[in-house]
Amino acid sequence: MKLTTQRLSERRRMVREMSTADALQELADKRLELFNLRVAATRGELKNQREFAKTRKDIARLLFKLHMEALQPEELEFIDAADEEAALPASDEELALPAGDDEEEETAK
């Protein structure tokens, strides 16, 4: 499944549908292609400067896909608003320092 001169939506769809092994192989191919583009540019043989950006973006898409696959499922879930509210202090009293800390400050003065 090579990402060649296809439409952007087709390239995105192909990246999403790739297996991890295919994505790794395609990533290696794209990095080699980017290297070859740099060599061609230094020799003055490059005809389309836009190929640099397209290749870099394809590499970024592949890296993003591989990164998302590496994450654990629980890392992908969003925190519920109810859980977030439960973690917040309910009142200003809960934010205050314990009584023992005030005495230490007075003796230090």
Give the model confidence (pLDDT) of 35-64 as tens digits: 999 999 999 998 999 999 999 999 999 999
Using CA atoms, how far residue 99 sits from 24, 25, 45, 60, in Å, is 59, 62, 76, 54
Using CA atoms, how far residue 50 sits from 37, 57, 95, in Å, is 11, 11, 56
Share of the chain above pLDDT 70, in %: 60
Number of domains in the chain: 1
Q: Is residue 107, in this structure, part of any structural domain at all?
A: no
- Distance between CA 61 and CA 56 in Å, rounded? 9
Q: Is residue 87, in this structure, part of any structural domain at all?
A: no
In this structure, what CATH number is given to the domain that contains residue 15? 1.10.287.310
Q: Is residue 96, in this structure, part of any structural domain at all?
A: no
Residue 8, pLDDT above cutoff 90:
no
Q: Is residue 72, in this structure, part of any structural domain at all?
A: yes
Q: Nearest 5 degrees, angle CA 56-CA 1-CA 20?
A: 75
Q: Is residue 39, in this structure, part of any structural domain at all?
A: yes
What is the mean predicted confidence (pLDDT) over 67-82?
65
The pLDDT assigned to 54 comes to 93
Q: Is residue 94, in this structure, part of any structural domain at all?
A: no
Q: Is residue 89, in this structure, part of any structural domain at all?
A: no
Q: What is the domain extent for residue 70?
A: 8-78
Q: Is residue 63, in this structure, part of any structural domain at all?
A: yes
The pLDDT assigned to 69 comes to 86
pTM confidence score: 0.59
Binning pLDDT at 50, 70 and 90, where does residue 77 land? low
